[in-house]
Amino acid sequence: MMDQSVTEAVAKLRELEEKRAALYHAMGVVNYDALTAAPKDTAEGRGRTMGVLSGMEYELTTGAETVAVLDVLMAHIAELDEQTAREVQLMKKANEQISRIPAEEYTAYSVLVNDAQSVWQRAKNENDFAAFEPYLEKIVAYNRTFAGYYNPDMKPYDALLNEYEEGMTMEVLDGFFENLRAVIVPLLRRVMAAPAIDDSFLHRSYPIEKQRVLSDMLMEVLGIDRSHCSIGETEHPFTDGFNNKDVRITTHYHEHELASSMYSVIHEGGHAIYELGCEDRFNYTAAAGGVSMGIHESQSRFFENIIGRSRAFIGFLFPKIREMFPEQLADVDAEMFYRAVNKAEPSLIRTESDELTYALHIMVRYEIEKRLIDGSLAVHDLPAAWNALYREYLGIDVPDDRSGCLQDSHWSGGAIGYFPSYALGSAYGAQMLHCMEAELPGLWEQVAAGNLAPVKEWLREHIHRYASLYAPGELFERACGKFDAAHFAAYLTDKYTALYGLKD
């Protein structure tokens, strides 16, 4: 039996969590509006509103009342049920992280990052790394300092990784990437020596109005309830989940790129299925929503690549797509379509790269981030290091910084340690497939018939329903045992060896 003060503290905690969730909801809607419907010159009022709301959030997370409640609950953590204990730990973590950064540094950093984003955008457009260099230097210096505030006992880059993937370390990632590179680099070399795949028909004219109808069809096949999930249109596709009954995804249509929006919808749809599959009991608490970037990407990439780019799924989907675009696809069959959407080749731009080479793009960024944070690479020498790694890993020459080290927005927004989650997501997904296939013998026959229910049910049962109850590593291990990147390497080897008819 818990004593009175603990029961009261739990009630108080829930009240604080609900207020915090309401602020996140409000800030999320303001942000979503900014990216979708808001007219161009409306940043001023939005900036003020966001300033007030984030100030309230800061106060709520660090205030004396919160600290007092957390002190009581941390002292009695062993008496709390699993979910409440996790909520306390997550609130405690948020509280410590924010309060460890001195307020003036936090403010100065917010201003810096805000300026850096527009400077980066201009530097990218004008191919002018020198303009961005002083901002990135400061961002790197701040991140090195913040790493010490986040977790003084960890190596600085480990502390940053931990912000995006709780429990992840360089030791794990070094081994993961090294093993993966040893498989992908020679495999890619063999793919490049094989006859090229023709994907030219994907670049014919596909009217956007009809692509919107294709999106509707895909949402239906994915089994996503449109009364709880809308599709917007933005420059860069993304997913926002406010709670498990209100999720927004976006896509971007390109008239001459049929596969672009198609796979954005399936990818973001995977994120949405995760958010929608969380149990009601986590709504409006600190344990709401997907647990980490890596687990989230495992879900989006599972639907995009493992299901969406499978022969079984394309076999089901292609006749429907051809019905929508009879002229554009008159001379194409399902096998040609399957091959085209899986075509692999070294390229310059991460977001446009294929399933095989994607992890190599991530490895370049990982190496560079490690060196920037440990001080062995100066920001000034970043373009040269970037270009050398693209040559070494992908075998290509980078013609300019716009299509090189200036291509991604992440660093300008202060996100250092975020990139590895993308590659981890792919590897988590491949191992989930391995477990799923063992438990569901008729899996691919179902997918070939357009029935994704068994796949979704497996993921809901093992991953989605837990929201953020478990740390990502623990959640993954409960679902499919110890993480082993060999599954991803085997998946890529099997798929591309068959696709390109490579013989051992």
Could you tell me the strand order of the sheet in which 229-233 lies?
229-233, 246-251, 239-243
Nearer to Zn ion, 269 or 383 (CB): 269
Nearer to Zn ion, 300 or 387 (CB): 300
Is residue 268 among the annotated active site residues?
yes
Task: Round to the nearest angstrom and report the end-to-end CA distance of the chain.
Answer: 65
Tokens of 95: 């509280």
Nearest-approach distance from CB 94 to Zn ion, in angstroms: 23
Position 126, amino acid: E
Residue reference for tokens 């990502």: 472
- Which residues sit at the interface with Zn ion, rule CB under 5 A? 300
Q: How far apart are CA 312 and CA 338, in angstroms?
A: 9
Nearer to Zn ion, 300 or 310 (CB): 300
Nearest to 139 by CA among 116, 121, 159, 105: 116
Nearest-approach distance from CB 238 to Zn ion, in angstroms: 8
Q: How far apart are CA 322 and CA 326, in angstroms?
A: 5
Nearest-approach distance from CB 413 to Zn ion, in angstroms: 16
Spatial contact of 199 and 343, defined as CB atoms under 8 Å apart: yes
Nearest-approach distance from CB 300 to Zn ion, in angstroms: 4
Nearer to Zn ion, 270 or 473 (CB): 270
Nearer to Zn ion, 242 or 500 (CB): 242
Residue 477, CA distances (Å) to 172, 295, 432 in order: 15, 12, 10
Nearest-approach distance from CB 166 to Zn ion, in angstroms: 18
Residues composing the chain = 504
Of residues 57, 87, 268, 275, which has the active-site annotation?
268
- Chain centroid to Cα 255, Å, comes to 26
Q: Which helix (H) or strand (E) element contains residue 146?
A: helix 129-150
Catalytic residue annotation: 268
